[in-house]
Structure 1
Amino acid sequence: MNSPLGAVVAAELTKIRSVRSTLLVLPLTVVLSAALAYPVGRSLAGVPNVDPLFATFYGLTLSQLPLVVFGVLLVGGEYTAGTITASLTAVPRRGLFYTGKVLAGLLTALGVSAVSVAVSFVAAQMGLGPYRTSIGAAGVPQAVVGAWLYLALICVFAMGVATMLRGSAGPLAILMPLLFLGSQGLGNIPGLKTVTQYLPDQAAAVIMHLTGPEGDPRFGRDVGPWTGMGVLVLWVVLSLGGGYLVLRRRDA
C-alpha cells in the first residue's frame, strides 16, 4: 500500500492486531453465532410454519454485540488511553486518519461477519434437521448477504457513535441496551413500532427474516429487505458524518 490512505489503513490494522482488548472480542462473535444457532434451530424444528431463516439468524441479535464492542473500542479506546493525540500527530490530516480507521474496522468486521454468518447457517441447519433449508433455496442468498452486511455495518455505526462521544463508556451505555432491547421486542410494541422499526437493527432485520410477514400488525415492518438495509446505511452515514465533524472541530 503506497498511497497515504493505504498506509493509514495498514497502520490501523496493525493496531487492531496489537491491542488485545479489541482483538479478544472478535472471536466471541463467531463463537456466539454458532453456539446460539444450533439450539435455536433445534428448538424450532418441526414448529408449524416456522421460517428456517429466522432460526438461522436469530442468534445474531446477540452475537452482534461483541462486534459493536469492537467498533466502540477501536475508536473510543484511543480517547480513553490518550493515544488519540499521538495518532493525530502521526496523521495530522484528520479526514485521512478517520477514513483509514473506519476502513480498517470495516475490513476486519467484514471478515469476522463472513465467518459468523457461515457458521450460524451451518449450525442452524444442523439443529433444524429435516426442516432445514439450503444455501440455494429461494430467498436464502439474499438473507445471507444481508446478514453479512448487517454485522459489518453495525460495527461501523458503532465506530461513528464512539467518535462523536469521544470515548467508550458512553457509546456502550447507549448502544448495548438499544440493540439488545430492540432485538428482544422493543420494535414490536404497537405504540412504539411506528418509530422503532426505523432504528438501524430493526430496519435491517427484514432482510434477515427476523420480522413477521408484511402486513403483520405486530411483527411486520413497513419497509422491504433492501429498503431496510438502505435505512441502516443512512444511519451509518449519519453516524460517520457526525463523528467526522466532532473529530475535525474538537481538540484531541
Structure 2
Amino acid sequence: MADTTAAMRFEWTKIRTLRSTLWSLAVYFLISVTFAYLAGHFLRGSYKDMSAENKADFDAVAAGFHGLKLGMVVLVVFGVLAVSSEYSTGTIRSSLTAVPRRGVFYGAKLLTGAATALVTSVVVVGVSFFATQMAMGGPQSVSLSDDGVLRALAGGVLYTTLICVFSMGLASVLRSSALTIGILVPLFFMVSAILNSIPGVQKAAQFLPDVAGGLILQSGRPEGTVLTAWTGMAVLVAWTALSVTAGYLAMRRRDA
C-alpha cells in the first residue's frame, strides 16, 4: 500500500509538471463549454422552426452535451500523452528505476490519470450542460429536476473518464503518441459516426466504445439500437477493461 501511495505521488508530480497537462485540460474545458453555448443558441432559433413532430422528438438532455464530444478529443490526447510521453522522451527508464514493480507503476499511472480526468470532467460536464440549457432558454430547456438529467450528468462524467482510461491503456500497448492519437481520434470522431449511420452495419457499430458509452448522454433509447444507456455503459467498461489489461501485459512483458 505504501508503495502504491508513493508511486501515485510520483505520477501526480509528473502530471502536474508536464506542460501538456495544463493546456490540454484547459482546452478541454474551453472547447466543450464554448461549443455547448453556441449549440444552445443555434437550437434556440431552430426550435421555433421545427415541426410539431420534430419538437416531440427533441432531446433537450442530449442537446446539453453537443460540445462535450468535441472537447473530449483533447481529453483523449491528455490520456495518451500521460502514458506515451515517457516512452518518446526516454524517461520511462528512470521511472521504472524509481518504481521497479511494473504493476504498481502502471496502476499508479492509470489511477492518477483517471482521477485527473474525473475531477476535470465533473466541472466540464456540468458547466457545458448548463451553458447549453441557459443559451436555449424557453420551454425546450431542462433543469436538474427533469427526468434523465441527473443520470445523464453522472453518466457524462463516467463516459469521459472511461474514454480517457481506455486511451491510456491503448497508449501503453502502442507506446507511440502519434500512432495512438492517429487511431483514436479518427475512430471516435469520424469512423464511429459514419459506421453508425450506415443501416447495414449500424447494429455492429453501436458496440464501439464511444458509441455504446455515449448512449448515457441521451434521455431515451435511439431507434435501431439494442443497447440501453446502462448496457451501453457496460460495453464501454468492457472495452476499457480490455484496453487496460492489454496495456498491463505489454508493460510486464516488454523492455523499457
Q: TM-score, normalised by structure 1?
A: 0.93
**Candidates 115, 119, 128, aligned match of 1:107:** 115
Equivalence map 1:100-249=2 (5 Å): 100-130=108-138, 131-182=140-191, 184-209=193-218, 213-214=221-222, 216-217=223-224, 221-249=225-253
CA distance in 2, matches of 1:95, 1:192: 38
* Counterpart AA for 2:151: Q
The CA deviation string for residues 17-37 of structure 1, in whole angstroms up to 9 with x for no partner, is 101023311111111111011
Cα RMSD, aligned residues only: 1.5
> Offset at 1:91?
0.6
CA distance in 2, matches of 1:103, 1:174: 23
* Counterpart AA for 2:111: L
Equivalence map 1:10-29=2 (5 Å): 10-29=9-28
> Offset at 1:72?
0.3
Equivalence map 1:56-135=2 (5 Å): 56-130=64-138, 131-135=140-144
Segments of structure 2 that go 5 or more residues without pairing to the other structure are none
Segments of structure 1 that go 5 or more residues without pairing to the other structure are none
The CA deviation string for residues 208-233 of structure 1, in whole angstroms up to 9 with x for no partner, is 018x744x24xxx2111111111001
CA distance in 1, matches of 2:41, 2:181: 32
Are the equivalent residues in 1 in contact too, given 2:192–2:205 (CA < 8 A)? no
Are the equivalent residues in 2 in contact too, given 1:61–1:183 (CA < 8 A)? no
The CA deviation string for residues 72-99 of structure 1, in whole angstroms up to 9 with x for no partner, is 0000101000111111111110000000
CA distance in 2, matches of 1:37, 1:165: 33
Are the equivalent residues in 1 in contact too, given 2:32–2:69 (CA < 8 A)? no
CA distance in 2, matches of 1:151, 1:127: 23
* Counterpart AA for 1:32: I
> Offset at 1:183?
5.6
Q: TM-score, normalised by structure 2?
A: 0.92
Are the equivalent residues in 2 in contact too, given 1:52–1:128 (CA < 8 A)? no
CA distance in 2, matches of 1:22, 1:191: 40
Counterparts in 2 of 1:148 and 1:176: CA distance versus 1, 3 Å = same
> Offset at 1:196?
1.2
CA distance in 1, matches of 2:14, 2:228: 38
Are the equivalent residues in 2 in contact too, given 1:182–1:201 (CA < 8 A)? no
> Offset at 1:185?
3.9
SS of alignment partner, residue 205 of structure 1 = helix
CA distance in 1, matches of 2:165, 2:36: 24
CA distance in 2, matches of 1:114, 1:185: 29
